[in-house]
Structure formats: structure tokens, C-alpha cells
Chain A
Amino acid sequence: MSAQTLAEKLIARAARRAAVTPGEIVTCQVDLAMMHDSGGPRRVKPMLERLGAKVWDPEKVVVITDHYLPANDDESQRIIATAREWVRGAGVKRFYDGIGICHVVLPEQGHLKPGMFVVGGDSHSPTGGAFGAYMFGVGATEMVGVLVTGEIWLKVPHTIVVEWDGAFGDGVSAKDVMLFLCGRFGMDGGRYQAVEYAGSAIGRLGMQERMTLANMTAEFGGQAGLVAPDEVTRAYLAAAGVAEIDTATWRTDDGAQLAAHHCFDGAALAPQVAAPHSPANSAPVGAFRGVRVDTAYVGACTGAKLADLRMAARVLRGRRVASGVRLLVAPASLRDQETARAEGTLAALLDAGGKLLPNACGACAGYGELRFGEGEVAISSTARNFKGRMGAASSEVYLASPYTVAAAAVTGRIADPRELL
């Protein structure tokens, strides 16, 4: 058989085929379907009722509440109540209620492993690709299609390899990689194809950093963002209770056909900042040095996992937030928050003046009560700074790594975090 990419192997397995060819349309069997409270039960329940249909396999469904928590108004409470009621009726036992953001909770609870084909009812679903699974986002109606049939169609993607060699410098993270790529290639740089991150600098990253790469493949415009599994993957999954994983099969073969192969030197990457209102408005941090901020936000699946909290803590430990600046910290999962608490990371953030927020999507989704005000200038470790997404249309959100967000919190202005490490 000719050489195949990781994406092609994953899709061929799900399509019950020996091989697939980029461009062809195939029907895939879904191993797992993940939903959250916003695009999940409140939307799929009425549609399933209209169809008079049941979930094809409740064992293959995971529901996680994160968008409308805390539920402080009638509509939010109704949305969360619908999720709780629906999982009971549908027989969905894998229900995680208020313990964190879906993309972080899903692997934490051991639901992902290399080789799987997974759909998620959220655009940041490519996060699962960090584990060598093909995972992508769908809307609520398409999720109903999966829930009823267990299948979904797919146009087999080409593969774009983004290779980073060497090692990233201290104070440079996966977030900087993705802001750089969005700036360099645009938000459609991924062309809705499969983007695979490879190279020695990627191999040195821990799982949560790889999750940030895969996660922001959404902003980069790919359908899926993949990292071939290795010993780092094996160790993370073993701790999550996933025993056997296959690292030999789930990799791109030498000589496989690629749509593009970009190579970069990890050591040459500086911390990046993206100006309002696009992740593609990125440049090295020096270009924005001195921009005054009102708020520093460490949050979201992109930027508030344990690894992210540790980055922020390295800058904040022993320092205080600048006068007039508010630092908000919304750990991406309860487990990450409690690990951070036990090891002293959380104390470093809170002692610096950070305010602890619930383990939910918070200001990133812009669905709840926490929204930035008129003219507010924020620097955020989240993924998107679209106009008005996180608050008022006149609010201005700069995107950066947790290191750079923490540096701005301490100095009151955008600053190079490497000078504070």
C-alpha cells in the first residue's frame, strides 16, 4: 500500500476502508460524540423528539456543561437543567457537570486515544487531535445526524505538515506558535484540511501544550489539528486510565503526499501578540510594547489548563498586579485547578491579586454575565478576539500566551515576559 498521512489512516479506519484519497467523500463511523450545554441537549432534544429517534449508542456520547455556567439567569438555568434532564432520559452516563471546559475534561477523563474518530459540538473540537484522534467540530443539526445514525460524511482532507525543529525558548509557548501561524498564513491558512504538527520542538511539548496547538487549529482554519502519538501521549493517557495505545500505526508514513510542508526553527520564535480584532493580527510582542491594559484574562480551553496556569505563575510569583489592572483566572478544569492549588501554582496567581473564576468558558464564549465593558482593553490567553465576542463592540482584546498575559498584569502594559522570568 502507498504511503499515507496520519489523517488518511484515521479516516480510512473510520470509513472501514483500506485507504482513502484526499478529495473523495466518505461516510465515517463515529467512535465518540461530545456535546456541551449550548450546542448540545437544549438544541438536539427538540430535534430528536421531532424525529422520534433515539441516540444510536449512549455509551459513545459525552456531555459536558461549560458554556452557561455559572447559570445566574432564567435562560441559563433552563439550558443547564435541560442538559441534566436529557442525559438521564437518553441514558448518557458520561456526563460531566460543572467540572471544566469540554475540550480539557474529555481527555482528562480518559475518553480519547490514538486512532479514534470523534465529533464535537464545538469549533475547538480539533483539540482532541493532540492525542492522535481525528476530531472536528459540527453544528447542532449535524450532531443530531450523528446521534441518530452514528455516521457522518467527510471530504477526505489533504494534509499540511507544520514542522518546528530545535526547541522553543524559555517564555515561548504553543500559543505563540499558533498566533504566529495565523499571522503568517491567515485564518484560512489551514484551508479546512488536516494540519499536522511535527518536529523535534513539538516532540518536546507536553500534552496540554500540544492541545493548545490542536485547539487553535480552529483559528488557523484547519478541520483537524493532529500530533502523532508518542511516549508523551502514552504517559498522559496512562495517568488518565487509558492503557494500551498504538504509536506505531498512528503516524504519517515517510513519503506520504502532503499539500504543504512548512518548516520553522523553534528557537527563532518570539512571544506573539495578536491585536484586535483577529488572531491573524499577530506580531512579536515588541510591536505592542507599552500598550496599556485594564484587564488580564487567563482563561479558556486554549489558555487556562494546568500548563498555562504554571506559565502565568512563573511570571506572577512574588509579584503584584499593577495598580488599576484586574487579573482574572478561570482554570479550564476543576482537576487542573486543584492540582494547581496543591502545588502552589494557584497561590502564586491569587497572591499576586488574581481573582478566581469558575471552571467554565466564561468571558471567552461571551455567553454569560462576564463580558468586557465599553472601551475596556484586555489581554487574554483565549483563542479569539473577534469584535464584540468577549464584550462590548468597543472593547479591545489582545491575544497572547499566559506568560505574556501575566507580564501585562504585572506591568500594566504589554511587555516581553522573557524579561520577567
Chain B
Amino acid sequence: MAQAKAAGGRRLTLLVATRKGLWQAHTDAARRSWKLTGPQFLGHIVHHCIADPRDGRTWLAAARTGHLGPTVFRSSDRGRTWHEAKQPPAFREGSGRVVDHTFWLTPGHASQPGRWYAGTSPQGLFRSDDAGATWRGVDGFNEHPQRKAWCGGDQDQTPDGAKLHSVLVDPRNAEHLYIGMSSGGVFESNDGGAGWRPLNRGVRADFIPTPDPEFGHDPHCVRLHPLLPDRLYQQNHCGIYRIDRPAERWQDLSAAMPKSVGAIGFPMVLHPRDPDTLWVFPMDGSSVWPRVSPGGKPAVYRSVNGGKSWQRQATGLPKTQAWFTVKRQAMTADAITPTGVYFGTTCGEVWSSRDEGRTWKCVTAHLPHIYAIEVA
């Protein structure tokens, strides 16, 4: 791998969280050459590592090992040094519930420096007001009398454990939050997490008998556009959806995807400046759910009209016999023009496009199974 240019221009770092540790891939604004550094936390399962856009230097990483309990590490110097949270996310003593791993991290609203949210497996929502040093449960969700009905029991889990993910903060209103749960569905709070209600109308849940159920869905990834916060997209177990609030019913965009590829996948990425442009990475959700690139031919699909139609973007990607997929946090975009799009695969490759998905290059290979990629 070529050395990234050190002088001149903006530097960009990808935080690559894997099943065996954390790596960083560094480049500059041209995004032609990359330098890989790491690992940090070698041997830890790092489910997510994300930078705080509010200060530009705080990074949080959610980690555990196969035998040790889950924790959160914090850096205030862009990953040079790390400190463990004094009080990681944990359910209330006496609740009988145990956090298996922290899965998702979201920096809070711009008006609330130090506020972070964490989603766990099994489904729990936690909050920190000191930049990740100490965490406490969001009782409005964790202790909600309907929580078990919404989520099922902790044993009713998806293969890698039920997740609370996609914690979204409305940039116009710190009290307005969304969460996604696999399983459970999408839920909304208008009071900073004190109360929650399901927001799943119009979303299919083919795996349960109730037609158009109120909850029990399986969103894989939910995104809110920062410039148009009433626009949300959802990559779901049963398709691709969009909602424009205050609408209460999601529109099913799945039919616009080619039938031979389908509308199943894990990640979904939004263009930072255009709410109508987004990317997905389809996977095989047929029969026993192989969860690999359909036909062994990986491709990104992009829509530039809010999901009404999709274009295949596979130039540079393997043409055949490539059976990886991309997890829900393992695809992202940068804020440079033209937008760079990145994904990490289950077989440890990082792919980069510096032209909004038209062409792809492999940044690095041979890393462990990649769980998450974020731009710092």
C-alpha cells in the first residue's frame, strides 16, 4: 500500500473495526493512496468505532473479547491513547438482563457536548453525558412496560444476538430520537428518550404471521438525512423503505431493485449533501439466507432519485466468485466533493470509491472480518 501524502490538503482517516481489533486507513483529500496503521485492541471484537464530529478529536470504540465482558474505550487525541470507560453500558442490577456487547455508538446533539448514545445486544439503550466515561440506561426504553413485547425475550435473538442500532438524533431537536432494533422495528421518541412509540407502518415483516404489524420488524440499518431530517431511509430484512415525516407510513422502494439481485442487505449510506442520493450493498436473502453477494458478484447500488430507481456500480469490484458481504455499519461516505464511498467486507477488504461509487479500488485486504467503517 502506498504511503499517504503527509503534507498539504485535508487528511481523512477510516476507522476500521473488526472482529480482531481496530485499524486505521489514512489518506488525503485526493484519496489516491492509503496508509494502514494498527492494530489497536488486537484480539478484541470491536463492533463500532466512531469519531465525534463536535470536537474532531474524541473517538469511542465498543469492544469485548470472546471471554471478557463488554466495554467502551475512549480517546481524546484521535486514537493515540485510549482509556476504558469507568462505567460501561450495563443493565440495572436486579433487572436480570446482561449486556452481551455494545453494538452501536452515536454522538449526541450538537447542543449537548459530551452526550453519546449506545445501543447494545440484547436490545438496550444507554446514554453518557461525559463523553463516554460513564453510561447509564435510558430508562424510558430499557424499563418500558412494552419493551419485552416490542423486542421479544432476550433469547428470541437474531443469529449474532438481537441488536439495538441506528440511534438517530434529529439535528433540529435534541429531544427527537429514533432507534432501530433487530428485532423490534423502528421506534421514535419526542422527549429525549422518556417515551417511545413504534414507527413501522408499511414495512413488511414476512417472518411473523400478523399482516402489517405495529412492531416486531427487522430493520438492518436506518439513516436520517442531516440536511432534510424528515427524510429517513431503511434497509430492512424485507426490503428498502423511505419515509418523509410527518408521514406515519413507510414507502416500499424494493420493487425498483433488479429482481435477480433483490432488495435485501445490511448497510445503507446517504449522500452528505443530497437527500435523494443513497447507496446500498445487496446480499443474498433467499432460501436459507446465505448473506453473500448475490451470485458471487458484489455490487453497490446507487439511487439519485430517493429510491425510485437504482444503478449498479461495480466497476473495479470482482466480477465473479466473490462471496463476501458488508455488515450494517461497514459502509460509509465522506464529506469531500465528489463524495467518497467506502465499505469493508466480511473477508477483511476495504474498498474505496472517490467518484461517488462509479469506480472502486481495494484499499487493503487480509484484515479480519470487518464490522464497521467510519470516517474520522
Q: A and B bound? A: no
User: Which residues of A are interface residues toward B (Cβ below 8 A)?
Assistant: none
- B residues near A (Cβ < 8 Å) are none
